[in-house]
Structure 1
């Protein structure tokens, strides 16, 4: 379990399958910001249990975000290229009533620290798109640097958007923590 003053990052409990499934599927407003240019189909309960829920229960590459004693989203990581130790983080706040409260930034900070402490990596990346200005602001407030902007490579609802890549190096991250 990891925490920030208001946020707890933790593994899912086996008893939470149905409530977490409802969290992800009842209010799917999040899908309009979480790479909507990739096909998404609401999973069945069985698909959710075998995939995302299993990953959250294992807690290695994804953890629940708990805010005010209830799950509201998740943090995760994946290897862009494991052999070169190129790691990317992800975050989704499923509960749209929690948007705009800096929950994402408060959840990503201990997650990034945990990744630097537990994995042999020199950089943590975060990739988003220009159609998600809240995620771009979140990355910048965390102290991540915009490292790349691929212009007009994401096509969604008749409009082109940029893919935006952010990153922070281990030395930069721990220097920022010392300064705060």
Structure 2
């Protein structure tokens, strides 16, 4: 699957062939990403990234998740997609990360907007959620910029290496998406 956002930016389903590039990107951005992502200590070699991608493929096949590489000028610069898709409640949870060098181009805002469109128009979801560490202001700015509603805070939602972080939950209903269009 591929989603073209503009001439420089697109999303594509992650494949095993992406393992080397995704690992290299992860490794190069390790210290930057480690501030907010808890899985970097478990990603030490290409084989770890391959195992992650195999899980992504299974999630896609079972329609319980969807992981996409973010391509900027035809180069992988991050990952975005639906960490979870709940078919019983028609709710998807968006997750994303972007390499340090790709920051500042509006890439993630455009990416999340495209994911919202895909969620509501293709997957026919009723609601999309984004959960962000409370003090991750750059990441919180994305759902706020796109009009998602702050629904609340989950205390001690995630263990991040040596401490817990609270998560702010943002949500958008399909009716709210339609009103924005």
Shared fold per TM-score greater than 0.5: yes
Instruction: Please say if 1:74 is aligned against 2:79.
Output: yes
Distance 2:160 2:152 in 1: 20
- Unaligned runs of at least 5 residues, structure 1: none
Q: Which moved more, 1:23-32 or 1:80-89?
A: 80-89
Q: Report deviation, 1:43.
A: 4.0
- 2:48 alignment partner in structure 1: 47
Aligned residues: 174
Q: Report deviation, 1:100.
A: 3.0
| Aligned counterpart for 1:123 among listed residues 122, 127, 140 | 127
- Match of 1:113, SS state, is helix
- Unaligned runs of at least 5 residues, structure 2: none
Q: Report deviation, 1:155.
A: 6.4
- 2:12 alignment partner in structure 1: 10
TM-score, length-scaled by structure 1? 0.80
RMSD: 2.9
- 2:118 alignment partner in structure 1: 114
Q: Report deviation, 1:44.
A: 2.9
Distance 2:58 2:26 in 1: 15
After superposition, give the CA deviation of every residue in 1:63-119 in whole Å (9 maximum; x if it has no partner): 1101122110011213375432332111111x2011233211111111111121222
After superposition, give the CA deviation of every residue in 1:104-157 in whole Å (9 maximum; x if it has no partner): 111111111112122242100000111210111111111111011235655658
- 1:32 alignment partner in structure 2: 35
- Identify the structure with bigger relative contact order (alpha carbons < 8 Å, sequence gap 6+): 1
- Match of 1:84, SS state, is coil
TM-score, length-scaled by structure 2? 0.80
Distance 1:145 1:98 in 2: 26
- 1:64 alignment partner in structure 2: 69
